[in-house]
């Protein structure tokens, strides 16, 4: 009788190992929900808020915080945001941004340095000017 090939054993074991590692990871740290302002009610933990910058940004991101609003990409629901840390070059009213944090008394308090703008050149969705 032919001995089963060690290759199969290796592959079977590594598939099992990969699954185990994966479960380990998932149990330790999961992903972050990525939502828009209108979906914010009902979320208690940390989320990534995605939307367009609106309102008139004011305040100092390197002192008591930059204040602006984030609005649904296609909608009017918006939420006030307070943010500290580096402000990306592409940050501007109307741009799509993503910021992590959680809702605190009606204000979305962002984690330091978590503000990102979506690169306009890369994700070409439709003709944009």
The site for another protein (CB under 8 A) is made up of 5-7, 9-11, 14, 18, 21-22, 25, 29-35, 39, 48, 50, 60-62, 86-90, 92, 96, 118-127, 129
Per DSSP bridges, beta strands 116-117 and 65-71 are unpaired
By beta-carbon proximity to another protein, the closer residue of 50 and 81 is: 50
Q: How far is the CB of 79 from another protein (least distance, A)?
A: 16
Q: Which residues pair with 42 in a beta bridge?
A: none
Tell me the closest approach of the beta carbon of residue 63 to another protein, in angstroms. Answer: 8
36 within 8 A of 50, measured Cβ to Cβ = yes
Pick between residue 5 and residue 56 the one whose CB is nearest to another protein. 5
Give the contacts of 38 (CB within 8 A, at least 6 positions apart).
72, 75, 77
Rank residues 35 and 109 by Cβ distance to another protein and give the closer one: 35
CA distance 82 to 122: 28
Q: Are strands 96-104 and 78-83 parallel, antiparallel or unpaired?
A: unpaired
* Residue 76 vs 129, nearer CB to another protein: 129
CB of 123 to another protein, least distance (A): 5
């Amino acid at each position: 009788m032919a001995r089963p090939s060690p290759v199969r054993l290796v592959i079977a074991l590594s598939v099992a190992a990969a699954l185990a590692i994966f479960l380990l990871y998932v149990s330790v740290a999961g992903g972050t929900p990525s939502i828009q302002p209108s979906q914010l009610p009902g979320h208690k933990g940390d989320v990534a808020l995605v939307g367009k910058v609106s309102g008139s940004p004011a305040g100092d991101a390197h002192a008591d915080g930059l204040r602006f609003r984030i609005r649904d990409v296609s909608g009017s629901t918006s939420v006030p945001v307070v943010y500290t840390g580096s402000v990306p070059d592409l940050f501007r009213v109307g741009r799509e941004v993503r910021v992590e944090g959680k809702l605190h008394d009606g204000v979305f308090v962002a984690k330091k340095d978590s503000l990102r703008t979506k690169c306009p050149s890369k994700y070409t969705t439709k003709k944009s000017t």
